[in-house]
Chain A
Amino acid sequence: MKQAEREIISNTKKLLADNRIDVFIGYEQGTLPFRTSPCFVHTDPEVQKLVWNSFCANNLSVYLPHLLRQRKGHEHTRVGILCKGCDNRSVVELIKEKQLSRDDIVIIGISCAGIVDSTKLQSRLNGGRIIGFDETPDAIVVRLENEEKTFKKSEFLCEACRHCAHPIPNVYDILVRSEQLFPQPVVSDPRVTEFRARNRDQRWRTLEHEMSKCIRCYACRNACPNCYCKECFAEQTAPKWIGVTNDLSDIIFFHVMRIFHQAGRCVDCGACVRACPMGVDLRLFTRMLVDEVTDRFGYEPGLSTKDNAPLSAYRIDDEQTFMVEPE
């Protein structure tokens, strides 16, 4: 952990010193014990703020489209970014969709064994005051006022991390190997199959139940790197697709369509789930389209900048048993 952190810091220092980048996006210690914050480093002294631990959750590629939007008369910002496996997949998708060019960024990739769900960990501590924590390859040791508690990382991983198939970035300029233990071989995610097995009414009630928690804060949309539209469909008035209130039907369709707009693009990074302040179980709905696109079109997003997006391509013999035929 510390070794990886040192490598990140020394690489960033070098990139700034060699004038290869104007700003580096990484993580710094957050205001609460089990949180980190995204950090924008411009100068050498600031580099010391950078950290790397199992709470480095945010998908940092969400900042790239904004930073790299070409503005006439302005010099191009050169950006360095720290990418875990999932963040890297997002960067690849953004390059494919021409939101940035590979030459605009310097990627420091880092191999990741999964992010710990800080909310879950926090709730196990029953409100005790946290002095600090240490990390070993497979556990977190929390120092409270009167005692120390040890938690196995594998029991507190974020859901998306438990089923991550690509923890090591594919596209990078520098690769830092973290000494964390790697997760077990990927077990296929049972959530989608389990949900499909329920009857129609139950599925609808679950959707209603989850979506009734939503307060339309749009944190999920703002945290998602793929949601870079200047004007979101949810807030369009001409035409007005859906209302902006917390009417249940509007909430449901906001999520249904936002997730549908991710078809073939969602890399299952979990940023939306983490961002939600109300704990809406978004992954139950997002994961289905990720699996469907892989099964139907044999396509996995985020692995190569040379792939064709599945909805911008077709095969003459695409499956069409879903279509209606007269009896």
Chain B
Amino acid sequence: MEQRSSDSTKFEPKILAFLCNWCSYAGADLAGVSRFQYPSTIRVIRVPCSGRVNPLYIVKALQNGFDAVLVSGCHPGDCHYITGNYYARRKFALVKRYLDYLGLEPERVQFSWVSASEGARFAQIIKKITDDVKKLGPLVYFKKSISLKEKAL
């Protein structure tokens, strides 16, 4: 099932999405209930707050085969834990800029605010990220190749 071709029309990116339980996950759920169509490229991990996401999760995701990572939280001022998303905002600004400096395409590490009522917005964001990553192709930098077969390719 692994896609080896780098033909962008055939390439289906794998995107890991960390969604905060109170806003973004609910927003994604609303998108589903409202039958908004969006690409089925994301794999979701529900976290209590965007501030819970450790940059090491992003690193591990990129190392192990994801082509992109999304972290989505509540809008500033609306965090269920009051200030979690503020800390997250600072942390992820640095993560994105740092990985960009080292060579990783910034479109592969994305952050967004999606509230629980923004089902359509969630679908649009996923469409945008999927399109961006499709254009870039499969992840080359940072990926850990663990099999001899992969190394030979």
Binding site for B on A (CB under 8 A): 192, 195-196, 200-201, 203-204, 207, 233, 241-243, 247, 249-250, 252-253, 256-257, 259-260, 263, 285, 288-289, 292-293, 296-297, 310-316, 318-320, 322-327
Contacts and interface: CB of A to CB of B under 8 A. Distances in A.
26 contacts: A200-B103, A203-B101, A203-B103, A204-B103, A207-B103, A241-B60, A247-B144, A256-B98, A263-B98, A285-B102, A292-B98, A293-B94, A310-B90, A313-B90, A314-B86, A314-B89, A314-B90, A318-B90, A318-B93, A320-B76, A320-B89, A320-B93, A322-B96, A324-B111, A326-B124, A327-B128
A311 B144 contact: no
A233 B60 CA distance: 12
A243 B142 CA distance: 14
A327 B93 contact: no
B55 A257 contact: yes
Nearest to A198: B103
A101 to B, nearest CB: 26
Interface residues on B, range: 35 or more
B81 interface: no
Contacts of A325: 112, 125
Interface in B74-101: 76-77, 83, 86-87, 89-99, 101
A196 to B, nearest CB: 6
B142 A253 contact: yes
B125 A311 contact: no
B87 A311 contact: yes
B53 interface: no
A256 B95 CA distance: 10
A29 B59 CA distance: 43
B153 interface: no
A318 B141 CA distance: 30
A323 B144 contact: no
Q: Give the interface SS of chain A, mostly helix, strand, loop or mixed.
A: helix
B112 A323 contact: yes
Contacts of A310: 90
A221 B52 CA distance: 25
Contact of B86 (A256, A259, A316): A316
A243 to B, nearest CB: 8
Contacts of A200: 103, 105
B142 A252 contact: yes
A210 to B, nearest CB: 11
A110 to B, nearest CB: 33
A320 B97 CA distance: 12
Nearest to B56: A241
Contacts of B92: 322
A241 B102 contact: no
Contacts of B141: 204
A322 B143 contact: no
B94 A323 contact: no
Nearest to B72: A324
Interface string B9-28: 00000000000000000000
A326 B127 contact: yes
B142 A249 contact: yes
Nearest to B59: A253
Interface string B116-134: 0000010011011100000
A322 B86 contact: no
Given A257-B56, A315-B86, 5 more contacts: A241-B56, A249-B144, A318-B93, A319-B93, A320-B93
Contacts of B63: 242, 249-250, 253
B98 to A, nearest CB: 6
B103 A256 contact: no
